[in-house]
């Protein structure tokens, strides 16, 4: 449709900023012969006497009397009754394009945890898409007192609501969340983003706006919390000191000066753990046999000869996996490193 009739009686919005949500046409009276111009990505709303008369979304140039007025719910025939004096109505242009807003927590949110009762600081950021939900509410609470409304204006409210909303979504009704669960939030960011969008949408509905989508780009923690989670994961993986000693010795081989003190410390820890387990087993056995008299044990016969076991060759090494002596740096059976 051709763009004609532009002038003082032309109702239009010439956008100059992409972040403006709406524009209020300054005049409050629409004269006969005026034209409405709707550009791509715009919606035009006619508002009068406390109600939305009509919403027009198709781009083009429209004659008010012949093409717009017949669709206005309570303003039909106004020009006929008033002649050329015009009709009292307000026009609001809405930015119907995708309104992308970058967001982020202003400061880390303290999430209670069993490991850290005072709370673990969590921060996150991303982007969201704003859309209009209730035109009447928006005009009544926002557009009626402002000529324009931008993303910067709504971002202040969003940033203020984000902290409590994110905390509620992470806790999901629980009193606290474990460190490992907090660290795994990034892997579940899509589900968490949907929950945040739903809750934030309820808050923005008070202004007639809503959240069409919300993405979480990153979730961050202090370095100390990350190190704590890694340590807890390592402790849960290593169930006994035998595995721990093998891992410690294997790690020491790749380090300068490794295989000496680290290996000895691991072997000492393994010995201490084995001794502790032996004492625990003996204590349990003695407790279970306290009421049963011990049977006499015959003395063992002395061996005919007590020849000492042959000593290991000086060039042989010990395999920590197979527990045998081999003559190479790696075990020929299991391929593990020897000490």
267 CB-side CA count, 13 A: 14
Q: Do 214 and 131 lie in a common domain?
A: yes
**How is residue 270 written in tokens?**
């393994």
* Whole-number pLDDT of residue 130: 92
Q: What is the CATH number of the domain that holds 209?
A: 3.30.479.30
* Residue 51 belongs to some domain of the structure: yes
* Whole-number pLDDT of residue 309: 46
* Residue 288 belongs to some domain of the structure: no
pLDDT (tens, 9 = 90+) of the chain, 339 residues, equals 333 334 457 999 998 788 899 999 998 888 888 899 999 999 999 998 888 999 999 999 999 888 888 888 777 655 544 555 567 889 999 999 889 999 999 889 999 988 888 888 999 999 999 999 999 999 988 888 788 888 888 888 888 889 999 999 999 989 998 888 888 888 889 999 999 999 999 989 998 999 999 999 999 888 877 676 666 656 655 555 555 555 555 555 555 554 455 445 545 655 566 566 556 655 555 555 544 454 555 555 545 444 454 444 556 776 777 767 767 777 777 767 776
* Whole-number pLDDT of residue 202: 92
DSSP result, 108-129: -EEE--SS-TT-EEEEEEEEEE
Q: Do 113 and 217 lie in a common domain?
A: yes
Q: Do 60 and 180 lie in a common domain?
A: no
Q: Do 159 and 220 lie in a common domain?
A: yes
Q: Give Cα 228 to chain centroid, integer Å.
A: 20
Q: Directed axis angle between helix 189-204 and helix 151-171, to 10°?
A: 130
Spell out where 116-234 has E strands.
Answer: 120-132, 148-150, 209-220
* Whole-number pLDDT of residue 92: 94
- In this prediction the pTM is 0.60
* Residue 289 belongs to some domain of the structure: no
* Residue 79 belongs to some domain of the structure: yes
Q: Do 106 and 87 lie in a common domain?
A: no
Q: Pick from 95, 114, 141: which residue ends a domain?
A: 95
* Whole-number pLDDT of residue 207: 87
Please give the tally of structural domains in the chain: 3
Q: Do 193 and 250 lie in a common domain?
A: no
Q: Do 82 and 146 lie in a common domain?
A: no
DSSP letter for 259, please.
T
DSSP-derived pairing of the beta strands 120-132 and 99-104: antiparallel
Spell out where the chain has E strands.
Answer: 10-11, 20-24, 29-30, 35-38, 42-48, 51-56, 60-63, 87-88, 90-95, 99-104, 109-111, 120-132, 148-150, 209-220, 317-318, 325-326
Q: Pick from 95, 127, 155: which residue ends a domain?
A: 95
* Residue 307 belongs to some domain of the structure: no
Q: Do 69 and 103 lie in a common domain?
A: no
288 CB-side CA count, 13 A: 6
User: Which residue range is the domain that position 329 belongs to?
Assistant: 239-268+316-339
Alpha-carbon distance of 114 to 126, in angstroms, equals 28
Q: Do 89 and 104 lie in a common domain?
A: no
The three-state secondary structure class of 154 is: helix
Q: Pick from 76, 95, 114: which residue ends a domain?
A: 95
Q: Is the dihedral of CA 199, 201, 205, 207 positive or negative?
A: positive
Q: Give Cα 137 to chain centroid, integer Å.
A: 30
Nearest alpha-carbon partner for 147 in 103, 101, 106, 92: 92
* Whole-number pLDDT of residue 239: 53
Alpha-carbon distance of 36 to 50, in angstroms, equals 21
124 CB-side CA count, 13 A: 30
* Whole-number pLDDT of residue 120: 87
Burial of 145 (0-12, 13-18, 19+ CB in 10 A): exposed
* Residue 251 belongs to some domain of the structure: yes
* Residue 277 belongs to some domain of the structure: no
The three-state secondary structure class of 257 is: coil
* Residue 115 belongs to some domain of the structure: yes
DSSP result, 223-236: HHHHHHHHHHHHHH
Q: Do 69 and 176 lie in a common domain?
A: no
- Residue with structure tokens 């032309």? 10
Q: Do 62 and 106 lie in a common domain?
A: no
Q: Do 44 and 62 lie in a common domain?
A: yes
């Amino acid at each position: 449709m051709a763009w004609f009739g532009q002038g003082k009686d032309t109702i239009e919005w010439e956008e100059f900023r992409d972040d403006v949500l709406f524009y209020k046409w300054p005049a409050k009276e629409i004269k006969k012969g005026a034209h409405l111009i709707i550009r791509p990505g715009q919606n035009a709303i006619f508002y009068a006497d406390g109600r939305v008369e009509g919403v027009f979304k198709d781009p083009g140039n429209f004659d008010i009397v012949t093409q717009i007025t017949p669709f206005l719910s309570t303003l039909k025939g106004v020009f006929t009754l008033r002649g050329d004096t015009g009709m009292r109505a307000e026009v609001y242009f809405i930015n119907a394009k995708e309104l992308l807003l970058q967001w982020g927590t202003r400061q880390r949110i303290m999430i209670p945890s069993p490991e850290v009762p005072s709370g673990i600081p969590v921060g996150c950021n991303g982007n969201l898409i704003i859309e209009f939900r209730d035109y009447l509410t928006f005009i009544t609470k926002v557009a009626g007192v402002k000529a324009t409304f931008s993303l910067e204006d709504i971002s202040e409210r969003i940033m203020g609501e984000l902290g409590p909303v994110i905390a509620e979504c992470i806790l999901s009704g629980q009193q606290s969340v474990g460190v490992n669960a907090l660290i795994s939030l990034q892997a579940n960011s899509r589900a968490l983003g949907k929950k945040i969008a739903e809750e934030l949408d309820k808050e923005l509905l008070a202004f007639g706006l809503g959240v069409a989508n919300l993405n979480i780009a990153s979730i961050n923690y202090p370095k100390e919390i990350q190190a704590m989670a890694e340590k807890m994961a390592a402790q849960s993986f290593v169930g006994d000191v035998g595995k721990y000693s093998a891992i410690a010795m294997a790690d020491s081989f790749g380090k300068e000066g490794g295989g000496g003190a680290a290996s000895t410390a691991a072997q000492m820890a393994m010995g201490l753990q084995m001794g502790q387990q032996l004492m625990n087993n003996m204590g349990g056995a003695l407790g279970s046999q306290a009421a049963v008299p011990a049977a006499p044990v015959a003395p063992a016969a002395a061996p005919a000869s007590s020849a000492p076991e042959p000593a290991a060759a000086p060039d042989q090494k010990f395999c920590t996996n197979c527990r045998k002596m081999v003559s190479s740096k790696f075990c020929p059976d299991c391929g593990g490193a020897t000490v």
